[in-house]
Structure 1
Amino acid sequence: MTTATTTTTEAATTATSEATTAETAASTATFTADPATHRVLTGDRPTGLLHLGHYFGTLRNRVRLQNQGVEMFVVIADYQVITDRDIADRLAEHTENLVLDYLAAGLDPDRATIFAHSAVPALNQLLLPFLSLVSVAELNRNPTVKDEIAHSRQSAVNGLMFTYPVHQAADILFCKANLVPVGQDQLPHLEVARTVARRFNERYPHVDGGAVFPAPQALLSDAPLLLGTDGGKMSKSRGNAIPLGATEDETARAIRGARTDADRRIDYDPVNRPEVSGLLLLAALCQDRAPEEIAEEIGDRGAAALKRTVTDSVNEHLRPLRTRRAELATDRGHLRQVLRDGAERANAIADATLDEVRAVMGAI
């Protein structure tokens, strides 16, 4: 019984991911033809400094989308910090530092709405009717939630963890975003938002027969996974990341301590030599070249030469960003003003959406 149920669930999850991926392909084609018709919602939890994995995985892509004319909403998901930990440590500081990294990387607050979740009360009012559209069983079997629980810092899993996907659905749907940049592992979360939108539209149609919410589509990132200095996934919580705001000396020390292997010949082989290949990939991303080409240049000069190449590449690539970041950091008031302005715009949209939701539900 257990095996059959598990197999059925996994098959359903696989089918869901495949369906969402098919939607993604269509979305990408449409986006390329007319980016201005798309509204993007993306964001981060303020749990620490952004690092190179964030930069090459999402942050550069956000700037690219913004510059191509996509309407951009960036939520700093501060309430979601307490899904997997007991307290939100240094929350205000982490929130401001996210804004600092966003602006230094090129997000423009005149073109991108940057706001904190907690500053938009209507998001949490939307959560309540949305929760009524999703079953407990659906929340319980979400694979992303299961992974978050496995890595939770709490002694006991709290109720917010199970509502996490619906919380994200409210973040996405409040502004009626129709495109959400995600990694493959986040597709189940996006499918919850699509399910909520579809079920709400079916249960509470407009009098004119139209839909209140679009079904948001995924824009899958083609950014490769960057490994941390210990050979594992680069992560804020694992102490293996290189923050965007690190100094050049701090960057050099981190890379000198990165794990490699005993083979002096440097080549790009992600399967058999993941640590060496991860460093080559980082240098290649910074230089906008192929990692095989960089490996050929280093040849048999060993790990020390590889690490020098990576250090020089990272520091050179990030120098303009770090210079701008240092300038922006001298005016913390400006960072807080960006958040206030973003919250004002987000609140106007969220309040209008909540009014619309209440109207079609027949609420007073």
Structure 2
Amino acid sequence: MTDQPLDAGEQLAASTSEASLRRTEARSAEIEAQIAKDPSGFRVMTGDRPTGNLHLGHYFGSLANRVRIQDAGVETFILIADYQVITDRDGTGPIKERVLGMLADYLAIGLDPARTVIYAHSAVPSLNQLMLPFLSLVTDAELRRNPTVKAELEATGDRPMSGLLLTYPVHQAADILFCKANLVPVGKDQLPHLEQTRVVARRFDERYGRVDPARPVFPQAEALLSKASTVLGLDGTKMSKTKGNVIEIGMDADTTARLIKKAVTDSDRHITYDPENRPEVSNLLMLASLCTHREPAEIAAEIGDGGGGGLKRLVTEAVNEFFAPIRARRVELAADPGYLWDVLRRGNAVANEVGDATLAEVRAAMNMDY
């Protein structure tokens, strides 16, 4: 019996199997070692949707890691995914203000526009034009089985699925492939989205061929698995802008203190680090740990019988001390919007140059270079 190739849906499911995860983890560790020796062989692409202000979950979940990757010497592209705001919304909202705030956050945490390309979806036509040939490489059924599409659709309730939401994974593939990124920082839950990108790259090569016979037009992007700890919201559930349970990077110290004072804990005055049985208390301890670089159990022992009040006072002090220089820098940046827009314009120019070159190669491979 001849083995049949997996379709895209089966490939996405396989990407999250235990054996596949172990291989991905091992490969990610190898990549980290390679970066330490020579970062020049990698180009990273990542980004955010400007649907609200960036918060501490973003910082500890991904933003700090981007600065680390940049500082290691890896060429980095960071997308402000403004077009993806409308995948599940009726309008753009105060998007201009949010993009400006995102730029201030990026630079305040240490992203350097001299080393990192920061750009916006809507300013890079070549990126979005790649959607057309890429859509020819996937089927409606495959897209509907995509875990990313399913998750996004569930998050919208009973809202009808838009064409943009259905093709969201293809747009994400275009985000990565337009700049020929070969490395994407992701969590384990995002591996199916990256596998969809790999499927698109392989199918383009199979269907349309190559300009240079020695290499495909698009690389097979690999995962750099995040080691970051997950920070829950102040109510003990997933940190989310829409839930209002977040501490924003740009919030001042007094606002941060008020929010932490309202955080959910429990009735046991003796503070212990027990994520399974005391998730809310343990989450606050983890937040203090991330800000002080101390073990959460050590912090818990220090608080002892200080109760929720003692815990919250310590967390407030830790958060405000850690983010004080970032917030001070952010205030300076926000006071000069002209500089921030110039950073974006310069990033857009670089992204357009890269994207135009990729699109020219795509058109040549498709015999459409006329």
Where on the TM-score scale, by shorter chain, does this alignment land: which range? over 0.9
Deviations 1:295-319 (A, max 9, x none): 0000111000000000000000000
Q: Give the CA deviation at 1:220.
A: 1.1
* 2:219 aligned residue (214, 235, 238): 214
Show the counterpart of 1:122.
126
> Is the contact made by 1:85 and 1:153 (CA closer than 8 Å) also made in structure 2?
no
Task: Evaluate the alpha carbon distance shift between residue 202 and residue 42 of structure 1 in structure 2; reply closer, same or farther with a 3 A threshold.
Answer: same
Show the counterpart of 2:170.
166
Deviations 1:21-80 (A, max 9, x none): 624532431342232211000000001110000000100000000000000000000000
Show the counterpart of 2:29.
28
The DSSP-based 3-state class of the residue aligned with 1:180 is: strand
* 2:322 aligned residue (317, 326, 344): 317
Determine if the alignment matches structure 1 residue 75 to structure 2 residue 74: no
- Cα RMSD (Å) of the superposition? 1.7
User: In the TM superposition, what are the counterparts of 1:348-363 in structure 2 within 5 Å?
Assistant: 348-363=353-368
> Is the contact made by 1:84 and 1:153 (CA closer than 8 Å) also made in structure 2?
no
Determine if the alignment matches structure 1 residue 183 to structure 2 residue 187: yes
Show the counterpart of 1:241.
246
Q: Percent identity?
A: 59
Give the unaligned 5+ runs of structure 1. 1-7
Show the counterpart of 2:3.
none
Q: Give the CA deviation at 1:204.
A: 2.1
> Is the contact made by 1:20 and 1:217 (CA closer than 8 Å) also made in structure 2?
no
Show the counterpart of 1:268.
273
User: In the TM superposition, what are the counterparts of 1:290-301 in structure 2 within 5 Å?
Assistant: 290-301=295-306
Show the counterpart of 1:3.
none
Aligned length: 357
Q: Give the CA deviation at 1:12.
A: 5.8
Determine if the alignment matches structure 1 residue 104 to structure 2 residue 103: no
Determine if the alignment matches structure 1 residue 156 to structure 2 residue 160: yes
Report the TM-score, using the length of structure 1 for normalisation.
0.95
Deviations 1:192-237 (A, max 9, x none): 1011111111222225242111010111111111110111111111
- Aligned AA for 2:78? V
Q: Matched residues in 2 for 1:279 and 1:59: separation?
A: 20
Show the counterpart of 2:4.
none
> Is the contact made by 1:133 and 1:200 (CA closer than 8 Å) also made in structure 2?
yes
Deviations 1:139-190 (A, max 9, x none): 0011121111111277322110011011010010011000000112211111
Determine if the alignment matches structure 1 residue 333 to structure 2 residue 338: yes
Report the TM-score, using the length of structure 2 for normalisation.
0.93
Determine if the alignment matches structure 1 residue 342 to structure 2 residue 341: no
Show the counterpart of 1:17.
16
Deviations 1:286-343 (A, max 9, x none): 0011100000000111000000000000000000100100111110001100110000
Task: Evaluate the alpha carbon distance shift between residue 202 and residue 336 of structure 1 in structure 2; reply closer, same or farther with a 3 A threshold.
Answer: same
Determine if the alignment matches structure 1 residue 199 to structure 2 residue 203: yes
Moved more, 328-337 or 146-155: 146-155
* 2:310 aligned residue (305, 324, 344): 305
Q: Matched residues in 2 for 1:192 and 1:110: separation?
A: 31
Task: Evaluate the alpha carbon distance shift between residue 104 and residue 301 of structure 1 in structure 2; reply closer, same or farther with a 3 A threshold.
Answer: same
Give the unaligned 5+ runs of structure 2. 1-6
The DSSP-based 3-state class of the residue aligned with 1:17 is: coil
Task: Evaluate the alpha carbon distance shift between residue 124 and residue 70 of structure 1 in structure 2; reply closer, same or farther with a 3 A threshold.
Answer: same
- Aligned AA for 1:299? G
Show the counterpart of 1:144.
148
Task: Evaluate the alpha carbon distance shift between residue 122 and residue 325 of structure 1 in structure 2; reply closer, same or farther with a 3 A threshold.
Answer: same
Q: Matched residues in 2 for 1:79 and 1:250: separation?
A: 31
Q: Give the CA deviation at 1:359.
A: 0.2
Q: Matched residues in 2 for 1:97 and 1:356: separation?
A: 35
Q: Matched residues in 2 for 1:120 and 1:25: separation?
A: 35
